[in-house]
Amino acid sequence: MASLSIDASSVQDLASKNLGTIPTRYIRAEIDLEIVVTSIDNNEVPVIDLSKLILDGNNSGFSNEEMKKLHLACQEWGFFQLVNHGVDEEAMKKIVEDVMEFFELPLELKKECSSEIEGYGQAFVLSEEQKLDWGDMLYLFTRPDIQRNYKVWPAHRPLTFRESVNKYSSEMERIKTILVGLMAKNLGIDQHKFIDLFKDGLQSMRLNYYPPCPDPSKVLGISPHSDATAITILLQLNEVDGLQIRHDGHWVPVKMLPGALLVNIGDVVEILSNGIYKSIEHRVVINKEKERLSVATFHEAHKSVLVGPLRELIINNGGTEKYRSVTSDEFVKLILSQKLDGKSLLDVLKLKNE
């Protein structure tokens, strides 16, 4: 999402200039006050082993215990690390290499990918006063194919960029479908119907680059937010951690396991599930010495889906609907207006009848 109106320069470029002081637009006065939990028992993001949840012919490897763990993770954390996910290793390796290569390109070449909504730049820079995130991104619509706007994809280098994104994006689509099927099972609703809600939904990717910062305690890579999608699957490209998630009133740092994917429930699944699953606030903190890179793959529901609690889940919940229903067009409009006035989308849609 290149700047909608104001051109904030590349943070990567800014950071490379060894500035003595950090420009005030990046400095957050409030961060010091927040509590970060480091290593408290039971305060680690759940780890789910997907190989225990795949139904093979005779069901031999299937673990009900792992299913329960998944259900709890979606209810209480809104996040889980996924291991033994079976994503093609070559596809993982190639996306890592090509995204790294993209951000190493000279600024002029990266800027060729700038545009209004998609492309290279920063998220939603709407005013001169707005605090800025310490990070750059390349934001692309990746699926269905017809949504791709190759004008904002790198044209020449990395040479294999299109191929790598295509392969990785189809792997993410496959994993998303498996996961929503498992969630339906856990929610006690029809798996095929639930999977269909997300079939051919928009998939987009946000390639994130967070440069080191000489005073990391004063900046944020991404401000606290919940994802306005259905499901997000995140890949951290190097060993530098930085993601923190809200849990029990604290910020809990995620220690990414090598090769794992991090999955989180977005606002749409929170709403569809009538609040049984939670879309949790998260933010990114910055490292003093090292850059951090990640790829977030966002999966939306199909645009024909009404974003509102599913009838079966209202009934199971004592008949109380917790959110108002909106069409997907209205939902997109709300995302944009909520960015303008800084309100949480979930708060806007929550019904106050409890």
Ligand X SMILES: O=C(O)CCC(=O)C(=O)O
Applying CB under 6 A, the residues found at the interface with ligand X are 206, 208, 222, 227, 234, 243, 282, 284, 294, 296
Q: Map residue 182 onto helix, strand or coil.
A: helix
Quick one: 118 or 227, whose CB is closer to Fe ion? 227
- Answer with the entry of Fe ion, ligand X, none that 234 interacts with (C-beta below 5 to 8 A by kind): ligand X
- Answer with the entry of ligand X, Fe ion, none that 208 interacts with (C-beta below 5 to 8 A by kind): ligand X
Quick one: 226 or 328, whose CB is closer to ligand X? 226
Q: How far apart are CA 286 and CA 24, in angstroms?
A: 16
Count CB atoms within 10 A of the CB of residue 297. 27
Nearest residue to 275 (alpha-carbon basis) of 308, 228, 233: 308
- Answer with the entry of Fe ion, ligand X, none that 267 interacts with (C-beta below 5 to 8 A by kind): none
Are 308 and 325 spatial neighbours (Cβ–Cβ below 8 Å)?
Answer: yes
Closest approach, Cβ 284 to ligand X, in A, equals 5
Quick one: 228 or 310, whose CB is closer to ligand X? 228
Residue 118 in contact with Fe ion, rule: CB under 5 A: no
Closest approach, Cβ 234 to ligand X, in A, equals 6
Quick one: 182 or 222, whose CB is closer to ligand X? 222
Closest approach, Cβ 221 to ligand X, in A, equals 7
Site for Fe ion in 201-230 (CB under 5 A): 227
Q: How far apart are CA 119 and CA 137, in angstroms?
A: 8
Closest approach, Cβ 300 to Fe ion, in A, equals 14
Are 299 and 143 spatial neighbours (Cβ–Cβ below 8 Å)?
Answer: no
Bridge partners of 297?
A: 205, 233
Alpha helix segments (H runs only) across the chain = 11-15, 64-72, 89-104, 107-111, 161-187, 191-198, 267-272, 311-315, 328-341, 345-349
Closest approach, Cβ 199 to ligand X, in A, equals 23
Quick one: 187 or 243, whose CB is closer to Fe ion? 243
Quick one: 206 or 299, whose CB is closer to ligand X? 206
185: left (phi over 0), alpha (psi -120 to 50) or beta: alpha
Are 181 and 171 spatial neighbours (Cβ–Cβ below 8 Å)?
Answer: no
Quick one: 198 or 210, whose CB is closer to ligand X? 210
Say if residue 19 is exposed, middle or buried (CB neighbours under 10 Å; 0-12, 13-18, 19+): exposed
- Answer with the entry of ligand X, Fe ion, none that 69 interacts with (C-beta below 5 to 8 A by kind): none
Count CB atoms within 10 A of the CB of residue 249. 7
Closest approach, Cβ 317 to ligand X, in A, equals 28
- Answer with the entry of ligand X, Fe ion, none that 206 interacts with (C-beta below 5 to 8 A by kind): ligand X
Closest approach, Cβ 65 to ligand X, in A, equals 28
> In the complex, which residues of this chain contact Fe ion (CB under 5 A)?
227
